Amino acid sequence: MTNAIAGQPQQRGVQAFCKCMDPNCPNPHFDQRHRKQPVAPYHVAQPEPERKAAVNEKNRDCTFAGKRYQIGRMSPTDAIMVHGHLVNVSFGIAMKFSQAGTSNGNGAAPSQAKPPEDVQKLAEGTVRELWHLAASYISEETYKSTQNIALKACKYYDEATSATMQVRLADGRWAAPGLEDDAVSVGQLITEAVVFNISPFFVSGLTEKSAAS
């Protein structure tokens, strides 16, 4: 018995498939079921509402020593790198407590699920604490490079025009008036830039942990 498709011989009870490569061919193909059903990606990460809300906040205004500043977003690659540094800090802290045979509080009973605003505050508090301890757990070079990354995300409001301008120029000179002698304000700017940019990484884990409890 001969099949009408390309003169192929057909055995009884066995369907013959066309082997042509023409995507418009009307005859049945061996891979037709794959053609009709597009293959879904292996994994498409959907951002949680809490993390999406945090990321959607493009900038944040702060006031230090009576002067207004704007904290913006780091580049994605810079933020990923800074997040990695803080993860290393958390590992260092965990190792220290482990070697001392004490608990850092992670073994406490799980708390009840928290609303999104509480999760965000907890994430920011976690990042703030890790950054305050970072100098003891990462190299001086890494610490300074992280400071520079954070300062690139900081701008100040010009008092005359209200326009925002970078607090520091590419050559390292301070552009914001008074910052070159104000270590406290510089430290606050760096901390807030790290918290603003890295806390979304921690929101996901805290949301899952809260939901699981």
Mean confidence (pLDDT) of the chain:
78
Q: Is the pTM of this model over 0.75?
A: no
- State whether 29 and 93 are in the same domain: no
Max Cα distance, the chain (Å): 94
**3-state SS string over 129-141?**
HHHHHHHHCCCHH
Question: Do 36 and 53 belong to one domain?
Answer: no
Encode pLDDT of 77-118 as tens digits. Answer: 999 999 999 999 999 888 887 776 655 544 433 445 555 668
Q: Which domain holds residue 190?
A: 49-100+111-212
Residue 106 lies in a domain: no
Task: Tell me the pLDDT band of 59, cut-offs 50, 70 and 90.
Answer: very high
- Residue 167: inside a domain, yes or no? yes
Is the domain of 164 the same as that of 200? yes
> What DSSP line would sit under 60-79, residue for residue?
EEEEETTEEEEE-PPPHHHH
Is residue 66 in some structural domain? yes
Q: Are residues 88 and 30 in the same domain?
A: no
Instruction: For residues 133-140, give the mean pLDDT.
Output: 94
pLDDT given at position 82: 96
Q: What's the total number of domains in the chain? A: 2
